[in-house]
Amino acid sequence: MNANAPRSRVLVVDDDVGPRESLQALLSEEWEVLCAASVDEAVRQFRATHPDLVIMDIRMSEKSGIDGLREIRKIDPVVSVIMLTGFSTLETAEESLRLGANDYIRKPYNPDSMYEAVRENIKRTLIERRRATAAIELQALKHMLTEQMSQSDHMARLGQKSLEMAHDISTPLTIIMAYVSMLSDRLHSSRKQIGDQFEENIRCLKVIESNVARCHELLDFWRSCKTGSARNRRPISISSLIAEIAQAVKPLADRAGATVKVQASQDQCWVMADSIQIFRSIQNHAVNSIQSLAGPGGLVKISCRADGALAEVCVEDNGCGIPRENLDKIFQPYYTSKCEDRGLGLGMFISRNVIEDHGGSIRIESQVRKGTRVIIRLPLCAEDQRPQEMPAPGS
């Protein structure tokens, strides 16, 4: 455990001083342990300290542990609650699970089992709180977008830009929702084993958080369009960027039974660019490739290499392909071969504009039932513009 990190708090609620002090002695070496002798005192301490776990005896004088559980759940719906029970109150303990407790432990308990239960349930609380924070941010973002779209005079001036914004926001939000769904499934199916999956769940949450941040960056971008202010370009590593994109679209590929592979050049392929613009362009092609796959066994490969003075990015798939007669139409605004609810027909149009605005080029090669290959070429930075330290791809 990081010695500098704040210790998680455990609130022990029992009207019997012996069990309270016993639990405090057992747990205080690793966690900050608070004690309460009644439900009312526990509620006051809970409001003041926001603990990460509550351990509460079911049978207490005055208000019972079931009463306390109901009051705690009104304050915090996600904090983990462990109920302590004797054999005679086992049926009540099972009822407590239906009322929102996360676990129950029979008395007398095994100290090692109690210690492990505390560890697992604290981890669960931390994960749930981060997920809840991401959900709040998404709700705030949705509200902000609604306000932006409701300003009809601004939308009239932006014209087509409003639809482009809707397209841009849809991709990271789709990724966010896929991760939220995946994480929710894991948390419900692995309550007892969550310790083994903690790091993976944290990685999922970081992807959620980074895509929420990307939504905010896109909003900033569209605000700059509205005000006419210019965005700065800086050297970006295409090798690192495609690794980040592959990680972002992985849950979409997993749900399609597909694999995403990255083949990055040893050269970082530095280009002078607006990172959010290049990211949105390449990610759009990766998502299109995943959506083109017919079923399990699909493959999407994202690669980059230096070719003379240019960086070449390829996004390839073994999907359904594009008929030859449609290849000339795919860069037209509002043209789409997707279902009505899956696309606005702006992705390819936006992507070409972004790439050409950066002095690059884009072309499509495709065969029906064999797949599609998108080739993007961008000017490399001059040697004196490249950063001194070259991060490894995916860093």
The domain spans of the chain are: 9-109, 122-231, 233-395
Contacts for 52 with CB less than 8 Å, ≥ 6 apart:
8, 9, 10, 79, 80, 122, 125, 126
pLDDT of residue 61: 86
Q: What is the distance between the alpha carbons of residues 180 and 72, in angstroms, rounded to a whole number?
A: 25
pLDDT of residue 295: 76
- Report yes or no on whether pTM surpasses 0.75: no
Mean pLDDT of 215-227: 64
Q: What is the distance between the alpha carbons of residues 124 and 115, in angstroms, rounded to a whole number?
A: 14
The CATH number of the domain covering residues in 233-395: 3.30.565.10
Contacts for 80 with CB less than 8 Å, ≥ 6 apart:
52, 53, 54, 102, 103, 121, 122, 124, 125
Tell me the pLDDT tens digit for each residue of 130-187: 888 887 887 787 777 766 655 545 445 545 565 566 566 666 766 776 776 676 666 6
Which H/E stretch holds residue 299? strand 299-307
Q: Above 80 in pLDDT, residue 74?
A: yes
Q: Above 70 in pLDDT, residue 15?
A: yes
- Average pLDDT over all residues of the chain: 82
* Pick from 230-239, 300-309, 365-374: least confident: 230-239
Q: Above 90 in pLDDT, residue 1?
A: no
* Pick from 97-111, 150-164, 188-202: least confident: 150-164
High-pLDDT (> 70) share of the chain, %: 75
* Pick from 104-108, 176-180, 238-242: least confident: 176-180
The answer to whether 14 and 57 have CB atoms below 8 angstroms apart is yes
Q: Above 50 in pLDDT, residue 124?
A: yes
Q: Above 60 in pLDDT, residue 392?
A: no
The CATH number of the domain covering residues in 9-109: 3.40.50.2300
The one-letter amino acid at 47: R
